[in-house]
């Protein structure tokens, strides 16, 4: 059985005449946890948008679950979490349970009523991320880290095989970032959900990820975590375009 979830072959992308991605090829398989790292403006978010079908590559081929992206229909197999905790309207009148349950809208249809089974699925997803006790609390009353856990539960409620996240710790207190990543590790290791995560917290996430990809317009490295950790900081600094020092549980990017 082919366990390929994402396959990119020689993918390039340009905004007007400005090249953003050049000849990107890599593959994500079932159960893998990929940390996608690189400096600001390196094309990480653009790459995610291509995988999600929000942007069309200028060149190359994208497949999801061995199906060409152009004809892929099983969108419920992919969960997406963005930087929502940093931009969510705190006055939005919805409970945590209602927010999570809304993740079933694509599967059920926009005007279908939610059932007891739907509520049970939402509560189960909240339990996975440790937020079940907050189910009937207003989403706006939660901290940034709690809100982001709720949005992950919303992404999980459709039981996806793949979870894609674009800098999900933006807006989360630094003291809670480690526990947030520990939760992601549990999702990957215990529930078998493949994860692709864009982050700037290099050391923290690469201690948990099974694979690492370093992107700065082109793919400078992609491979297993153990090979990434053997790399010299000098090489990583070249890819970033400025000095980078990797330290335990913290990353120092030294700009001059």
In the predicted model, what is the mean pLDDT of the chain? Answer: 85
The per-residue pLDDT for 39 is 87
Q: How confident is the model at residue 247 (pLDDT cuts 50, 70, 90)?
A: low
Least confident of 39-43, 113-117, 200-204, 223-227: 200-204
Q: How confident is the model at residue 110 (pLDDT cuts 50, 70, 90)?
A: low
More confident residue, 168 or 196: 196
Q: Which residue has the tokens 């409970």?
A: 95
For residue 49, pLDDT beyond 70? yes
The per-residue pLDDT for 71 is 95
The per-residue pLDDT for 251 is 38
For residue 161, pLDDT beyond 80? yes
Domains and CATH numbers, the chain: 4-253 (3.40.50.300)
By percentage, how much of the chain surpasses pLDDT 70?
89
Alpha-helical runs (H) found in the chain: 44-51, 96-101, 105-108, 116-128, 144-156, 174-191, 202-206, 225-229, 233-240
Q: With b meaning 16 or more CB within 10 Å and e meaning fewer, what string describes 215-247? A: bbbebbebeebeebeebeeeebeebbeeebebe
The per-residue pLDDT for 76 is 87
More confident residue, 238 or 256: 238
Nearest to 37 by CA among 196, 163, 160: 196
For residue 248, pLDDT beyond 50? no
β-pair type (218-224, 211-216): antiparallel
Least confident of 67-76, 89-98, 194-203: 89-98
For residue 92, pLDDT beyond 80? no
The per-residue pLDDT for 252 is 37
**Tell me: the pLDDT tens digits for 208-242?**
899 999 999 999 999 999 998 888 888 888 888 77
**Tell me: the pLDDT tens digits for 132-159?**
999 999 998 888 888 888 999 999 998 8
Least confident of 73-77, 141-145, 159-163: 141-145
The per-residue pLDDT for 148 is 87
More confident residue, 254 or 74: 74
């Amino acid at each position: 059985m082919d366990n390929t979830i994402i396959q990119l072959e020689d993918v390039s992308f340009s905004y007007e005449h400005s090249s953003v991605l050049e000849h990107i090829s890599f593959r994500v398989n079932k159960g893998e946890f990929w940390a996608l790292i690189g400096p600001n403006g390196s094309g990480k978010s653009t790459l995610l948008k291509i995988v999600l079908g929000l942007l069309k590559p200028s060149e190359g081929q994208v497949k999801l679950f061995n199906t060409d992206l152009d004809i892929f229909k099983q969108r419920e197999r992919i969960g997406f979490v963005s930087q929502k905790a940093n931009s969510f309207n705190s006055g939005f009148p919805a409970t945590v349970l209602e927010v999570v349950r809304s993740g079933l809208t694509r599967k059920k249809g926009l005007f279908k009523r939610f059932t007891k089974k739907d509520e049970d699925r939402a509560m189960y997803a909240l339990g996975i991320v440790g937020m079940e006790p907050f189910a009937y609390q207003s989403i706006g009353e939660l901290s940034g880290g709690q809100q982001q856990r709720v949005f992950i539960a919303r992404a999980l409620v459709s039981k996806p095989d793949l979870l894609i996240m674009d800098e999900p710790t933006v807006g989360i207190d630094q003291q809670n970032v480690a526990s947030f990543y520990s939760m992601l590790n549990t999702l990957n290791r215990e529930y078998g959900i493949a994860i692709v995560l864009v982050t700037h917290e290099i050391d923290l996430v690469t201690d948990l990820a099974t694979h690492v990809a370093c992107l700065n317009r082109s793919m400078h490295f992609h491979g297993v975590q153990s090979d990434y950790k053997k790399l010299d900081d000098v090489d990583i600094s070249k890819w970033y375009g400025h000095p980078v020092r990797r330290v335990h549980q913290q990353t120092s990017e030294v700009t001059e």
